[in-house]
Structure 1
Amino acid sequence: MGSSLKKLFCVPDEFFDPAYDFDFTHMSKSNSDSDCKRGNEPYERPYGWKRFALKVRDKYPDGNAWLGTDGWRNHSDPGEWPVSYHGTSVQRAEGIIKTRYKVGGGKMWGRGIYSTPDIDVADSFSTTVKPIKNGKTYSVIIQNRVNPKNRKIIEDMDYWLIPIPDGTSAEKEKEIVESSIRPYGLLIKEDKEYFFSKILAR
């Protein structure tokens, strides 16, 4: 990954694809962002975050159309899936990257995998981590593509749910998850608001 941020994770280099890394840290929204689409749906670029690309090309049996074409673009490509975000912890991010999403039990909306198209919503679920060496605090989010055919939209909360019923076998669960939600980026951000709130609380 070519960065000290890599040391936050116990994930081998073989899981990453540095050619597709992108640093949104010092970028901000522009007027053209309102027209940005992925999967024919609005795409909120992860401004303020650094993205480390995961190695996903040719990983799945149905090809790469779900990712769309490479490069900076506003339009959506045929067969492309929309983007979602999942706020998490370093430890859980490691597990997602190395294997896949594990099913959680949402009490209100049901069992399955939850994510959101709103990166600020995802950030509210991100667990901060503070490495010993540099003393800075970071937040972690997983960037995904979601199969629109397999999701349930919870509009009031701006969540997307991949439903997985109770009693689903491990094999079937794996099949549903991998055909419905695919992580393709690890997002890391220095959490300055968290840092300053700690300073003011002293």
Structure 2
Amino acid sequence: MPDSQLCLEALSALSGCNVEATSGASLLTPQDFVNIVALKEFYKQEGFKELEYPSVGTLSLQDPDEQDLYSSPQALTEGPGPEPSPRTTVKINLQDFFHPQYNYDFTNIKDGSTTHLRGNEPYIRPCGWNRVALRVTKKYDDGDVWLGTGKDAWPVSYNGHNMDGSLGIILTHGGSPSDEPSFLDAAATSLVTEGTRGRGAYSTPDIKMAEKYCKKFKSKVDGKTYKVVLQNRINPEKRVKCQRDNIWVVYIPEGHTEVQTRATVQESIRPYGLLLMQA
């Protein structure tokens, strides 16, 4: 397993919180982390600046390391903007949060033409990445079938920082003609109504796509820069495949409350691995 402090830094980079170790009870579960990652990107896409999350409080959606792509440029007459919100500190118990028995280092593995399946769907393994397993067995009321390899297992998806907002253009007009084939508008019309077009939590079965949109951070442990992605399983009954077969979305209907939105994500996407790669 990679250095535990490095893993905490990775979780901090993904969530926007200061994640620290504790010998007591964890404030957040692995499910909370995938909820926060998905919800932050969804609410940024909707134009919000903050996210309220149970047991944590207010989380800023502003990333001081990146330009805010979801708001208009500040007018010259407005003066300096508000100070960045302080990062919330959350504590997790490493023994309760991680599951070293299922760690797997894909760093030097190449699958080539070898195919793998999860839930009877292609599984593109995260070759080149080091996977730190999250403790998610026996945590859900419906058992662990979702995490298996059989036909009733959930397919694998990946997501990370900035996936939802960046991929929102897939179901809307806009983008470079070379990047957005003309059939995408027709696909959007057939998949969703005008009122819900593009609203949702995005993920991908393709680790290369996830890497393109992943979060990077410089570690204080060794001074190196790392990429980080969450490896998940996605409920096939809640997911819609977009016209481009490497984009999946869990739609969030207009009018959903914060509680309903969080429940939609929670019943649709479950994490099981924290993926790290040196940039």
Task: Please indicate the TM-score interval, normalised by the length of the shorter structure.
Answer: 0.7 to 0.9
Task: Choose from 145, 157, 160 the match for 2:233.
Answer: 145
Identity %: 43
Which residue identity does 1:124 align to in structure 2? K
**1:85 maps onto 2:158 in alignment:** yes
Where does residue 212 of structure 2 map in the other structure? 124
> 1:135-174: CA deviations, max 9, x gaps?
2111010001011111111132621000011211233223
Which residue identity does 2:157 align to in structure 1? S
Task: Choose from 13, 18, 21 the match for 2:103.
Answer: 21
Where does residue 6 of structure 2 map in the other structure? 5
TM-score (norm 2): 0.56
In structure 1, stretches of 5+ residues that fail to align are 69-75, 93-102, 192-202
> 1:10-60: CA deviations, max 9, x gaps?
2521221111111111111144x22x1001010011111011111111211
Where does residue 197 of structure 1 map in the other structure? none
Residues 228, 276 of structure 2: 8 Å contact kept: yes
Where does residue 61 of structure 1 map in the other structure? 141
1:110 alignment partner, SS class? coil
Larger of the two Rg values belongs to structure = 2
- Tell me, in whole angstroms, the C-alpha distance in 2 between the residues paired with 1:52 and 1:133: 17
Where does residue 72 of structure 1 map in the other structure? none
Give the 3 Å change call, closer, same or farther, for CA 53–110 of structure 1 in structure 2: same
Which residue identity does 1:41 align to in structure 2? E
Where does residue 248 of structure 2 map in the other structure? 160
Deviation at residue 122 of structure 1 after TM alignment: 0.4
- Tell me, in whole angstroms, the C-alpha distance in 1 between the residues paired with 2:8 and 2:264: 32
Within a 5 Å distance, the mapping from 1:182-197 to structure 2 comes to: 182-191=270-279
Give the 3 Å change call, closer, same or farther, for CA 110–181 of structure 1 in structure 2: same
Which residue identity does 2:254 align to in structure 1? D
Residues 6, 219 of structure 2: 8 Å contact kept: no
> 1:56-102: CA deviations, max 9, x gaps?
1121111111001xxxxxxx41310000111328xx9xxxxxxxxxx
Q: Structure 1 segments of 4 or more deviating over 4 A?
A: none
Where does residue 177 of structure 1 map in the other structure? 265
TM-score (norm 1): 0.75
In structure 2, stretches of 5+ residues that fail to align are 12-18, 21-91, 173-196
**1:45 maps onto 2:125 in alignment:** yes
Q: Provide the aligned length of Structure 1 versus Structure 2.
A: 170
Where does residue 99 of structure 1 map in the other structure? none
